Amino acid sequence: MPQQQPQITNNGSPVGLDVGTSRIVTAHRVDNEFQYQTQLNAFVNLPYSKMTENVLSKERVLHSVQGSNIVVHGTESERFADLLRVETRRPMSRGVLNPDEPQSLNQIQKIIESLAGPARAKGQKLYFTVPAAAAGADDSLTYHEASLRQILTDFGYDVHSINEGLAVVYAELESTNFTGIGVSCGGGLCNVCLSYLSVPVLSFSMNKGGDFIDSSAAGATGDLINRIRITKEDTFHFNGHFADKTLQALSVYYEDMIQALVGSMKEAFLSAKSLPKLARPIPLVLSGGTTMPKGFRGRFEKALLASDFPIALSEVRLAKNPLESTAKGALVAALSEI
């Protein structure tokens, strides 16, 4: 059964939007409940035929006709790509707009339109997530952020951006007055933010995420990246002894990613010129689709302990809803705007 086009719950109240390499998620608050909608940030082209278009329309699959092609956007694109044995096309890579994808802005616009729609009220606030600059790298995020801002402004929103790691803190660390470390491991990047009483003190990104694991494992096994991704999300877990070559490859590259993340965190915190004077150990929250496999938290914590990490931590835990916490944090920021 194909996923139907989502029903937009935009009620004119503030919106949280997580524009991730892998997924785009919106968060709304309806009757004091947080509600989320998700689409894969991907698309696939099908050759046009009237019959195909009729079927897609009947099944309410998110699509558009572009010349001699039908473009299937969002979550359903993965299923069609798997059926046709082709790769999905990705509007974003490594956390920002994909420079090799000419359709990137157009496709993101379509997906956001399907999730949030245009603003329902004048001045409706929308907070969208942006990655931090890579550790030790010059800021190259201006184009990405400005492009998304333009799309969202055209939809009529009062647009603000929020760092991805900080959004995790806002979603998860209310109990410590938003003091702690938020880590968001998505498709393209891992974003890290140390927040002190809601103020982002240190944030950076590390350019290994789910896509790195998928493409590396695909290179090692000869499988399609898309197929690797489906296996990773459906089957993979830590602490297993794998006879399956794909799972084994995934395990190797996951370990690589964790070590790289812990290494860059340690380096960033050690080299920071001024860290806040913390009165007590602080929590670290892991979020994002890449943290979902069973056993990830334990493996990450073990690597962190082995690294002699310079900040005292009270706990390392997974976000309550790892796929949605970033969008939730963006919404919390919008609701609490001063």
Partner 1 sequence: MALSGKLRNLQPERYVDWRAKRISDPIDKLQYLRRGMKDRNPPVRRPVWKRLSLGAFVIVAVSILLPAPSHRQMLPETTQKPSPETYSNIWLVEESDREQVFSNGLRIDKRFSVPNRPRSYQALDRKHGMTPSPDWRSQPAGIVFHTTESALAPFEAEKNGALKRISQILIASLRDNRSYHFLIDRFGRVFRLVEETSAANHAGNSIWADQNWAYLNLNSSFLGISFEAQTNPGEPVPTINTAQIHAGRILTEMLRSKYRIPGENCVTHAQVSVNPSNMRIGYHTDWARGFPFAALGLDNNYGLPLPSLSDFGFQYDDIFRQAIGPDLWKGIPRAESQRELEAASHHRTIAGQRRFLQERYRKLYPAFKLTGAIEETTDATTTTTNNQ
In angstroms, rounded to a whole number, what is the distance separating the alpha carbons of residues 77 and 74?
Answer: 6
Selected range binding partner 1 among 16-24, 143-151, 259-267, 268-276, rule: CB under 8 A: 268-276
Residue 177 binds partner 1, judged by CB under 8 A? yes
Assess 198 for contact with partner 1 (CB under 8 A): yes
Rg (CA), the chain: 20
335 binds partner 1, rule: CB under 8 A = yes
**Region from 96-104, 136-144, 169-177, 182-190 binding partner 1, contact rule CB under 8 A:** 169-177
Among 155, 196, 296, 309, binds partner 1 (CB under 8 A): 196
Cα distances (Å, whole numbers) of residue 102 to 35, 112, 155, 176: 32, 18, 21, 44
Contact 182, 330 (CB under 8 A): no
Nearer to partner 1, 152 or 169 (CB): 169
Strands 96-97 and 125-130: unpaired
**Is residue 201 part of the contact set for partner 1 (CB under 8 A)?**
yes
Q: Which amino acid is at 205?
A: S
For 48-147, strand residue ranges (E) read 63-66, 69-73, 92-93, 96-97, 125-130
- Residue 179 beta carbon to partner 1: minimum distance, rounded to whole angstroms: 8
Q: Considering only 104-112, 138-146, 197-205, 286-294, which stretch makes contact with partner 1 by CB under 8 A?
A: 197-205
Q: Does 127 bind partner 1 (CB under 8 A)?
A: no
Cβ-based neighbours of 225, under 8 Å, separated by 6 or more: 87, 211, 214, 215, 218
Instruction: State which residue, 159 or 333, has the beta carbon closest to partner 1.
Output: 333
- Rounded Cα distance between 305 and 315, Å, is 11
The long-range contacts involving 137-141, CB below 8 angstroms and separated by at least 24 positions, are 140/96, 141/96
> C-alpha 198: how far from its chain's center?
21
> CB of 279: closest distance to partner 1 in angstroms?
8
Residue 73's contacts (CB-CB under 8 Å, 6 or more residues apart) are 39, 42, 43, 62, 63, 64, 107, 110, 111, 114
Q: Minimum Å distance from CB 127 to partner 1? A: 12
Choosing from 83, 137, 197, 306, the residue that interacts with partner 1 (CB under 8 A) is 197
From 124-132, 139-147, 260-268, 270-278, span contacting partner 1 (CB under 8 A): 270-278
User: Least Å distance between CB 182 and partner 1?
Assistant: 13
| First-last CA distance in the chain | 44
Residue 313 near partner 1 by CB under 8 A: no
DSSP state of 294: T
- Measured over all CA atoms, what is the biggest interatomic distance in the chain, rounded to whole angstroms? 66
68 binds partner 1 (CB under 8 A): no
Q: Which residues contact 99 (CB under 8 A, 6 or more apart)?
A: 93
Instruction: Out of 66, 102, 136, 174, point to the residue binding partner 1 (CB under 8 A).
Output: 174
Residue 66 binds to partner 1 (criterion: CB under 8 A): no
Provide, rounded to whole angstroms, the least separation between the CB of residue 191 and partner 1: 19
Number of residues located near partner 1, criterion CB under 8 A: 21
DSSP 229-253: HHHHHHT--SS----SHHHHHHHHH
Separation CA 334–CA 329 (nearest Å)? 9
Q: Of the ranges 2-10, 40-48, 181-189, 328-336, which one interacts with partner 1 (CB under 8 A)?
A: 328-336
178 binds partner 1 (CB under 8 A): yes
Stretch that binds partner 1, among 57-65, 227-235, 272-280, 295-303 (CB under 8 A): 272-280
Binding site for partner 1 (CB under 8 A): 170, 174, 177-179, 196-199, 201, 274-278, 332-333, 335-338
